[in-house]
Amino acid sequence: MASKKEYSSFAEINLDLEILSLERKIALSKIAESAEDTQIGIKKTLAPFNVVRSMIDGVANFYDSNKFKTLAASYAVRMLIRWLKK
């Protein structure tokens, strides 16, 4: 908690009120700037080109992963076994 400050004049009170007002304006400005940056970031992320690019990157990463190689190998083995049974 803030300690109680004793004022000896209205000028001191007005000065502190002015400082608090300026600090509030700065804080609100920072919040507005942050919100604007976030909004721009979201717009860039959700732009059609970026959405398609991220989907393509995801598919490419899946095909490069060991999971895909394992699935492809197990599918190939199953197909080979079916072919050999004929």
Mean pLDDT of 57-69: 75
pLDDT at site 2:
61
- As a whole number, mean pLDDT of residues 67-72 equals 74
Alpha-carbon separation of residue 45 from 37, 51, 52 (angstroms):
12, 7, 10
* Separation CA 1–CA 6 (nearest Å): 15
User: What are the domain boundaries of the chain?
Assistant: 10-85
Position 15 pLDDT exceeds 90:
yes
Q: What is the crossing angle of helices 48-64 and 66-85, to 10°?
A: 60
Which structure tokens are listed for 23? 């600090």
Given this model, what pLDDT does residue 20 score?
Answer: 92
Q: How far apart are CA 32 and CA 48, in angstroms?
A: 26
